[in-house]
Structure 1
Amino acid sequence: MKYKIEIEREGCISCGTCYSIDPTHFEPDDEGRSTVVGGETDDNLSSGVFEDEEIEVAREAEDSCPTSVITVTEEKSSKVEPK
């Protein structure tokens, strides 16, 4: 199962809650704003896709974010079934 983690960085207040709870998926940038570990990041969004058993910890970080800028969603399979 794959999961996508996204952070709407404009709303991030650099509190550090997410990367304190889950340093496997979240880390601070040079300004202290949260980014997704190994993900793609710009000024507005940081996102990455993970396939791991520790996604529940990322969900805890999502639930703990005081500005609700983190989303953890299940990735839909893009496999095309043969006819």
Structure 2
Amino acid sequence: MSIELTKEDRQQAILSIERWFRENMDEPAGNVTAGALLGFMLEEIGPSIYNKAVADVQERLHARVAELDFEVHEDEFVYWRKHDAKTPRRR
């Protein structure tokens, strides 16, 4: 599965890479260089980030599902326990 960005997100990422190069490197990166670097990062590093995000979501969902029993659990066959507690015993 390849990681695809929308056209707008891709353009924002390229602008961000260009700015990073201007502010942190001796030579600026042009649009083509920044686009190539972005493509490399999406293909080479992107899957690791994506997989980590999926694993984090799975962990959160598993924890949430485990909590469901406590949140929605209903005791069974409680009518007589409730009834017996309210009414005095007949003799």
Q: What TM-score, normalized by structure 2, do the two folds share?
A: 0.20
Q: What TM-score, normalized by structure 1, do the two folds share?
A: 0.21
Q: Larger C-alpha radius of gyration, 1 or 2?
A: 2
Bigger RCO (CA 8 Å, 6+ sep): 1
Indicate the structure with greater strand content.
1
Indicate the structure with greater helix content.
2
